[in-house]
Amino acid sequence: MTTPVSAPEALAPGTLRVTPVGGLGEVGRNMTVFEFDGKLLIVDCGVLFPEEHQPGVDLILPDFEAIRGRLDDIVGVVLTHGHEDHIGAVPYLLKRKGDIPLIGSQLTLALVEAKLKEHRIKPYTLTVKEGQREQVGPFDLEFVAVNHSIPDALAVGIRTPAGLVLATGDFKMDQLPLDGRLTDLRAFARLGEEGVDLFLVDSTNADVPGFTPLERAIGPVLDQVIGKAPRRVIVASFSSHVHRVQQVIDAAAAHGRRVAFLGRSMVRNMTIAEQLGYLHVPDGVLIDYKKAKDLPDDRIVYMSTGSQGEPMAVLSRMANLDHAIEPGEGDTVILASSLIPGNENAVYRVIDGLTKLGANVVHKANAKVHVSGHAAAGELLYCYNILKPKNVLPVHGEYRHLMANAKLAQDSGIPAENTILAENGTVIDLKDGVARVVGQLDLGFVYVDGSSVGEITDADLKDRRILGEEGFISVIVVVDAATGRIVTGPEIHARGVAEDDAVFDSVKPKIAQALTEAAQSGVRDQHALQQVVRRTIGRWVNQSLRRRPMIVPMVIEA
């Protein structure tokens, strides 16, 4: 799916330019830039969570290179809903320019404002709701209610003289939603009658046949599991999944249990949800987790973060006995979430750890304790048939999801040439109902590592992987600056190579000989001598020990 980098042509008057910056070929980093008449509108600004081959990385941001130097042209950032993969990068964008307006629903903005408060940023915001239209710069925006695994999600229609674009954000079509808020298919049909020139549509479940099960089907299962649990119950879920938390609270209350929230983001988000009326908690059900330890084991439910196996999240720390609450024999742990691609190994490690401690672990593979928040193939086909869009751009998903979504579009009658399989950085121009690819930007990953943003490179991560998988060898040699003759050494130290340092005694003469030959050839440059050492010991280690460790040679002149 890699497209050669090509600079886009100058944007013609009356043309809308659409550039996905993140979210294509991955589940996360969702961000799309729209340009018209010299102004930019951004839809979503999320993060991607690191995988095992990215050690030490906390978050991965969209590459803002696409808008570098044009921050003053941004008229607003529309946030479709409050999940991290759609709002998590907002603080990093606003650190570049703090007065960019944020546009979203009440809950979405409340969640992002709480996040920005931790970064000491007070944003400019515009709260919108379904059915509302707003003129933002040259963009006429219309907001449409969609159903998702977090309340208050919105699709956005973007009107310009170049045409009408509809971006769904994340959505599904639950016909009996817990909050009674349906995906507004009547609004979709009205937009379809008007004529949707470009449809940006969620692809996450495009390869799943049929329809996404109802959220309310989960309630009875949670009620049954919690009702039968002999001791403590620990439920792990996304910290923003208000509907799931509501179901857990209802089940706990029905069985005389109290609920304690664990994890900073869970406490923060559910406090906001309750204050705004999205979460309804009966009196006397919530309890501080420190006081919960005084309750009998069969009278408490812990609602925690860590359902994706994140190493520092509450559930992982419990599995490693690194938390005040230590799961044990007779406890029940419920993983009420789906697996984000790439997290499978981490999640199963946590499940194994909890099982080893004696806990009964209930998860999606052995009980119906979660349903997806994304539309399956049947729902997407409904959308295509209702909207009849002229052009389709599948977004939000890995390549197999984008491909499956494109095929659904074509099955519904949209011509293959009007179905754009793009990647991050693909530049698409829209005018008079025609969408065409005009360029490809070179966008990469921006890694957040502690307080460092964008400093870590792929080369650094490769070094970390080598250190973790192959070990480290240092070689110190002191040579005479004038003659190149060895004064001291070579001295070799190894870490993580699983061999005693004495094993390197046989290579020391080889290093000394290589340096002597280099000196006799007139080589005096310190860097060149270090490369001689690196090549000599590297070749020996590879042949003798079958390893490729990181080698750090130090040649010191005396």
Give which of 49, 501, 102 is closest to 306, Cα–Cα.
49
Question: What one-character DSSP code corresponds to residue 439?
Answer: E
| Domains of the chain with bracketed CATH | 16-210+372-437 (3.60.15.10), 215-362 (3.40.50.10710), 458-557 (3.10.20.580)
Written as six digits, the tokens of 84 are 């991290």
Catalytic residues: 202, 374
Contacts of 231 by beta carbon, 8 Å cutoff, 6+ apart: 297, 298, 330, 331, 332
Q: Alpha helices of 17-129 — where are they, by DSSP H?
A: 84-87, 90-94, 106-118
Number of residues that this document lists for the chain = 558
Report the half-sphere exposure of 470 (CA within 13 A, side-chain side): 16
pLDDT of residue 434: 93
- Sign for the CA dihedral angle at 52, 58, 64, 65 comes to negative
Query: Phi first, then psi: what are they for 235, rounded to 5°?
Result: -110, 125
Helix or strand or coil: residue 463? Answer: helix
Give which of 224, 227, 222, 284 is closest to 255, Cα–Cα.
227
Helix or strand or coil: residue 169? Answer: coil
Cα–Cα distance, 342 to 348 (Å, whole number): 12
239 is in an annotated binding site: yes
Extended strands (E) in 357-416: 360-362, 392-395
396 is in an annotated binding site: yes
pLDDT of residue 57: 66
- The amino acid sitting at 516 is T
374 is in an annotated binding site: yes
Give which of 337, 406, 407, 423 is closest to 374, Cα–Cα.
337
Q: How far apart are the first and last CA of the chain?
A: 54
Give which of 465, 549, 464 is closest to 507, Cα–Cα.
549
pLDDT in tens, the chain (558 residues): 556 778 888 899 999 999 999 999 888 899 999 999 999 999 999 988 766 666 566 678 898 988 988 999 999 999 999 998 899 999 999 999 999 999 999 999 999 999 999 889 999 999 999 999 999 999 999 999 999 989 999 999 999 999 999 999 999 999 999 888 999 999 999 999 999 999 999 999 999 999 998 988 888 989 999 999 999 999 988 888 899 999 999 999 999 999 999 888 899 999 999 999 999 999 989 999 888 888 998 999 999 887 776 767 788 888 888 888 888 898 999 888 776 666 677 788 888 888 998 888 888 777 777 888 899 999 999 999 999 999 999 999 999 999 999 999 999 999 999 999 999 999 999 999 999 999 999 888 887 776 666 566 666 666 666 666 667 778 888 877 777 677 777 788 777 765 666 777 777 888 777 877 777 777 767 777 788 788 888 888 777 777 777 788 887 777
449 is in an annotated binding site: yes
Helix or strand or coil: residue 322? Answer: coil
Give which of 13, 4, 47 is closest to 448, Cα–Cα.
47
Cα–Cα distance, 40 to 43 (Å, whole number): 10
Cα–Cα distance, 436 to 183 (Å, whole number): 29
373 is in an annotated binding site: yes
86 is in an annotated binding site: yes
370 is in an annotated binding site: yes
